Amino acid sequence: MITVWDLPVRLLHWTLVVSVTLCWISTLGWGLSRWHEPAGYVAAAAVIARLLWGFAGSRYARFRQFVAAPRQLLDYVAALRTRREPRYMGHNPLGGWMVLLLLAMTAAVAATGWLFTTDRFWGVNWVAELHNGLAWLLLALIALHIAGVIFTSLRHRENLPGAMLTGRKRAARQGDVD
């Protein structure tokens, strides 16, 4: 086993999971609405920290390591279709782009939520609607993200959520992409 996800990657991931979940749950009532804005700011802070860590973090945390060129992305999708996709030690090409989408969408939801609290945009309907619409898009991306994690875990017989907790994955074998 080797350590793939460093501590900041793991802490920031689970911070995002808890804060975004709390943002959603707090819209359902149950006296939780006062947690909505603080949880949203925590999510925004986690996104900013993760962006910085994408340049300064350890090997598999870096965008340069996992943001695939279009060609690599197409090759990976083609390999998936014939069930010959290799196992990646870091994020696979689809997963890497999903990371960027999730971070960008979380930032956009938090930014529009904050806008709605400013004097300039308070009570402006389209801002609230945009915030709500982007929050639903984020939820759809999260569903795809979790489906991708389950699919990849099954295909390569490894527990990827467990790896995001411990940071550790089985070392690369022949044919794996390191």
104 binds ligand HEM (CB under 6 A): no
CB of 164 to ligand HEM, least distance (A): 4
**Could you tell me the two tokens for 173?**
């074998």
11 binds ligand HEM (CB under 6 A): no
Q: Considering only CA atoms, which of 65, 129, 128 is closest in space to residue 92?
A: 65
Q: How far apart are CA 97 and CA 68, in angstroms?
A: 8
102 binds ligand HEM (CB under 6 A): yes
Among residues 15, 32, 36, 144, which is the contact residue for ligand HEM, using CB under 6 A?
36
Answer positive or negative: Cα dihedral of 98, 71, 53, 11.
positive
CB of 71 to ligand HEM, least distance (A): 20
Residue window 114-153: x/- pattern of binding to ligand HEM, with contact defined by CB under 6 A: x-xx----------x--xx--x--x---x--xx--x----
Answer positive or negative: Cα dihedral of 23, 29, 35, 36.
positive
For residue 177, the cross-strand partners are 88
- Residue 44 contacts residue 106 (beta carbons within 8 Å): yes
45 binds ligand HEM (CB under 6 A): no
113 binds ligand HEM (CB under 6 A): yes
Question: Helices 70-81 and 93-116 meet at what angle, rounded to 10?
Answer: 120
- Residue 161 contacts residue 10 (beta carbons within 8 Å): no
**Sites of contact with ligand HEM (CB under 6 A):** 9, 12-13, 16-17, 20, 23-24, 27, 36-37, 40-41, 43, 50, 61, 91, 95, 99, 102-103, 106, 109-110, 113-114, 116-117, 128, 131-132, 135, 138, 142, 145-146, 149, 160-161, 164
